[in-house]
Structures are given as structure tokens and as C-alpha cells.
Chains A and B, each alone.
Chain A
Amino acid sequence: MISLQEVTKEYAGPLRRAASGRVRALDEVTLHVAPGTALGIVGPNGAGKSTLIRLLLGYLRPSRGRVEIDGLPPRRYVERHGIAYVSELVAIHPTWTVRGALHTFGRLGGLQGVEARARACMERMGIGGVADRRVSSLSKGNLQRLAIAQALLGPRRVMILDEPTSGLDPEWVMRLREVVAEWRREDPLRVLLVASHNLDEVERVADRVLVLEQGRVREVIDLRGRSEAAAAYRLEVEPAEGAPAAVRAAFPDAVPEDGPPFAFRVQAPDLGELNRRVAGLMADGVLVRSLAPERVSLEERYHAARAAGGEARP
């Protein structure tokens, strides 16, 4: 669906070009996003996230390499099919009303039944009550919800959200998650790209996460397999005198964890072995309080990817 082949983007005005002072925002980025994927884009400031998004919208052209969406150059794709987009900085004519803005975007998008669509989107995003207010008088949160409503107007196959939770209160952050999940369910082939500094939010909506740093792909983290059998587990047992020794007997590499006493990080090669060892532990009279796969959060993986440094991995 979306393909970037060794894409490099350099910024340089005429003076900088003369002085060879180019700024390389993206450096040989190669990426393939299959239909149906939700891709998170994370990275520190200046990593190239915004540049990547602007390339995908066709607002920028790559200095080298090729960007394609559905086999078309991005601008041609957008002009033909449109992209549902929520920009980091929402800029809408301040004199337009909320309803007028949605009608305008709908008509520009060549949609049928614009009024009904606009009404539905306003209701969905909870801005029906401010439908006749001017954009200039909207709060940051309502403006963000208006931007999301316009992205939901048309039946687009690609959605790009740039810091979508910016300005939203916790309730609307949660509702946005539902809206996005619903949008994906309507057509399983739809592609969602979410750029955000909020790693927890990205982890909740994305299948894969692209870690960018200094314009290079540091890592692509696959979150889809996170619920599969984990190699490490957190085991907590009822405090008892012989419990730690019994745990170490069952799990020779058990490591006591910080925090509550009688909690250990244990490892097992597979689920069968894990169950056998836990059964043995229980047979020894140890009461198991909890056993849970060790969950490595996106935040930990993100920091690990950044700390790894060295050559970026496509």
C-alpha cells in the first residue's frame, strides 16, 4: 500500500545550497506498509516524522528515492482518492463555522450527502453543540475534534494522524481510540499512520511502530506478536519461609524483583515447561499468587532501540 524506497530528503534554500549547508531530514528510509496495517511513527524531535508525513501527503518531494501509495506518487494518489489527515497544527479558516468547515471539506472532496455526513461526524466527535460557532472561537480540544471530524468525512483508505491526542482530554483520548478502531473495522484493508510522542497511545492503536532517529529508521517494532508466548514471566508467591528456595529450585534462573517481596522474574523455554515447573512448585506447597508474562512496553523497547545506536535498521 505504502512504499518508501531509500528515501532521502534534504532541505536547502538557495543560499544554503550554495554553501553546501543541507539539512538531511530523512536518510535512505526504506519502509513498506501493507494494507490493513496500523503503523505508529515515533522518535525524538527532529527525527523526521513530520517530513515523512509531508512526503506521504505529497507536500514535499524526496531528494532521492521513491515514495508510492498504491503504486502512485503521493500527490497523484491524494488528488485521486484523498487521505484522511489530522495535522499537528490544525489550521482552518477562522471565519468558517464548524458546520461550514465540514461542508466545505466535504464538497472539496466531492462527497455525496455532505450535510448528513457532516452531521454524523459532528455527533461522533461531540461538536454538534458548537456547529454554528466560528473556528476562531473554538477551544484547542474542540478544534482538534473538528480536525478529526473532517478526517472522518469521506471513505478514505489511508488515514494519517499527526499528534492526534494533542489538546484532547482523557475522555476524548479514549473515545478517539474507539473512533479509530471503528474506522479500521469498517474496511480491514485501511492503513492507519499515527505519529506521536505519546508512546502509550501509539502502543494502543498500532500494529507496528517505526522508530526514527536523525532521519534514519532505527527499528521497526512489531507489536502484533506481543501476546504470544513470552520467554520471561513475573511470578509472585505467598510469603512463606521456604518459598524463595522452592522457586529457585523450580526456576534456577529466578531473579527477585524490586517491589513486593516474593516476586520473581522467571524464565521457561515453552508453555508446557512453564506449567510443569509451576505445578511442581505448587506440589511443594508454595501458594502462587500470580503469574503473568513479562510485558516489555513500547516505551522500554523504544528506549532500547535508541540506546542500541549504531547503524539504523530498515
Chain B
Amino acid sequence: MIRLFLRMAAPRLLLAVLLGFMFYLNEPVFHEHEGPVRTLADRPHPIDLAGSAANLAALTMVILLAGFLSTDRRRGYYRLTFTQPISPLRYYGTRWLLCLALSMGAAAVFMVAGQYAAWGEYLGGGQGLLLALVAAVAYGGLLAFLSAVLPFGDTWVALVVFFATFFWLNALTFGAQPFVTPVREAISLLLPPQTALRDVDDGLARGVLDWGAGTFALGYGMLWLAGAGLLVRFREWP
């Protein structure tokens, strides 16, 4: 089944590779050596790559999971698939886990291959993959739910949410106070846990793991994922 899912994901993986290359070009840490001569202390710190790796993992998750449930429901592909002796929950659960593994693979390749390409050596920063894992689970869980709920457009909604989150947090950081406090807090809670992800990132930069923030972000993704699982299990098929 894994081979089958890999074949299904192959065209999208090419898109993820392209995305990874764009992240590489856009990542300042990789291009610091292009500036004036620096001392040893100025050497780039690979843990600074964690943020980009996390964004790459999250977006790869969005690319790989786009329409993974809604398309089947809308176009009726499920009709012949689920007359085979397989549970829809297991089918979609396996696909989701495989996408998570591929997203983590994309983040790992970005960190390792990027360092070799930019600096000619691997300087470390593997713990940054923890942030990538948390981000992938958070966005992957959200997209799974959107794909289970919406008949179409789940990817676009996820992308809008992805970018809206940055806009929202920046607005709050710069002192904007849209809506009344409870609404503002509710929106912050519903949007992907970018603040928690930043806390995990900051912790990793200090060499510690912020368990509280990490658990919150993981919990956010798992909650949406559980919602998607319940819909797959109990909702009727069209």
C-alpha cells in the first residue's frame, strides 16, 4: 500500500522539491558566506534553519494532502476503493502518515543538502527537525480536517490560513487590536499555532525544548486530525 501511495504522491513530490529549492534560494542563513570575510564566531548557525525547514514541512504537507479526501468524495473515487476490504480510516490514516514522513524527508533534505550546497559541509542543526515535525503535524491535521469537511477548495483555504496567520500575528505584534478581546483570542486559538511554533524555535536556538509550546502545537494538529478521523469514520458518503 505504501508503494501505491508513493506512486500517487509522485507528481506532487516534484512540486515539493521545487518548493525546497525556492526555500534554499530564499534562506539568508545559506547565503551568509557570500558577504564580506567573517570570523569563526560569525559562522552561520544551522539551528537558524529550523524556521525555514518547519515552513517547508508545513507547506509540503499542504501540497501532498491537497484534496486527499475531498476529491475522492466529490469525484466518487471512493466508490470502488472502499468496496475492497479496507477501512477508510486506515486508508486515509496511512496516506496522512506517509505524507508526514515525506514532509519530514523534505525538511531533512533541505537542512542537510542545503548545508552541503551552501557551505560544503554539514554543521548540524538536526534538532531543528523537531520544529518541522510539530509544524507538519499542526498544518497536516488542519488540512486533513478541511479536506474532510469541504467538498473542494481545502488547499486554498489552508494556504489562506497559512498566510493569514503570519499577517494576523504581525498585526498583533505591531499593536493592532482588531475585534474585542474574546474574539481576538478565539481567532488566535483557531489559527495555526504560529506563536507556539516560534516559542519552540526560540527554545531550540537556546538549546532547550519548550515542551509546553511543542505540546500545544502538536495538540492543535492532532485535534483537527481527530476531527477528520471522526468524519471519515461516521459521516455518510455522498
Q: Which residues of A contact B (CB under 8 A)?
A: 54, 57, 59-61, 78-85, 87, 89-93, 104-105, 107-110, 147, 150, 154
Candidates A54, A80, A150, A154; contact of B80 at CB < 8 Å? A150
Segment with Cβ contacts to A, from B83-91, B96-104, B120-128, B221-229: B83-91
Return 12 A-B CB contacts under 8 Å, by A number.
Answer: A59-B79, A79-B85, A79-B86, A81-B85, A82-B83, A84-B83, A91-B75, A91-B76, A92-B77, A92-B80, A104-B4, A107-B1
Known contacts: A54-B237, A59-B236, A60-B237. The answer to whether A87 contacts B76 by CB under 8 A is yes
Contact B85 A109 (CB under 8 A): yes
Contacts of A109 in B (CB 8 A): 84-86
Minimum CB–CB distance for A120 against chain B, Å: 18
Asked whether, in the complex, the Cβ of A147 is within 8 Å of the Cβ of B77, the reply is no
Per the bound structure, the CA–CA distance linking A177 and B30 in Å amounts to 67
CA distance A91 to B77 in the complex (A): 5
Please report the number of residue pairs spanning A and B whose Cβ atoms sit closer than 8 angstroms. Answer: 64
Q: How far is the CB of A114 from chain B (nearest CB, A)?
A: 11
4 further interface pairs, Cβ-Cβ under 8 Å (given A108-B84, A110-B84): A59-B78, A90-B80, A108-B4, A147-B80
Q: Mark B1-30, 1 if CB is under 8 A from A, else 0.
A: 100100010000000000000000000000
In the complex formed, the residue of B with least CB distance to A94 is B75
Q: Is the CB of A108 within 8 A of B81?
A: yes
B residues touching A (Cβ–Cβ < 8 Å)? 1, 4, 8, 75-87, 91, 236-237
Residues on A with beta carbons closer than 8 Å to the beta carbon of B8: 93
Nearest 8 CB-CB pairings of A with B? A91-B76, A82-B85, A59-B237, A109-B84, A85-B83, A108-B84, A87-B79, A79-B87
Docked complex Cα distance between A107 and B3 (Å): 10
Q: How far does the alpha carbon of A81 sit from the alpha carbon of B73 in the complex, in Å? A: 22
| A108 and B236 in contact, given A87-B76, A89-B76, A147-B80 (Cβ under 8 angstroms) | no
Report yes or no: A93 in contact with B77, Cβ–Cβ below 8 A: yes
Q: How far is the CB of A265 from chain B (nearest CB, A)?
A: 47
Shortest Cβ gap from B74 to chain A (Å): 10
Could you tell me the distance between the alpha carbons of A215 and B80 in the complex, rounded to whole angstroms?
A: 25
Q: How far is the CA of A91 from the CA of B78 in the complex (A)?
A: 8
A80 touches B85 (CB 8 A): yes
**Contact between A108 and B237 (Cβ–Cβ < 8 Å)?**
no
CA distance A170 to B4 in the complex (A): 36
Q: How far is the CA of A108 from the CA of B2 in the complex (A)?
A: 10
Q: Quick check: B84 and A82 within 8 Å, CB to CB? A: yes
Given A91-B80, A104-B4, is A110 in contact with B75 using a C-beta cutoff of 8 Å?
Answer: no
State the CA gap A226–B233 with chains docked (Å).
45
Taken together as a complex, chains A and B put the C-alpha atoms of A110 and B86 apart, in Å, by 8
Residues in B whose Cβ lies below 8 Å from that of A61:
236
In the bound complex, CA of A109 to CA of B163 (Å): 40
Decide if A107 touches B236 in the complex (CB within 8 Å): no
Q: Is the CB of A108 within 8 A of B87?
A: no
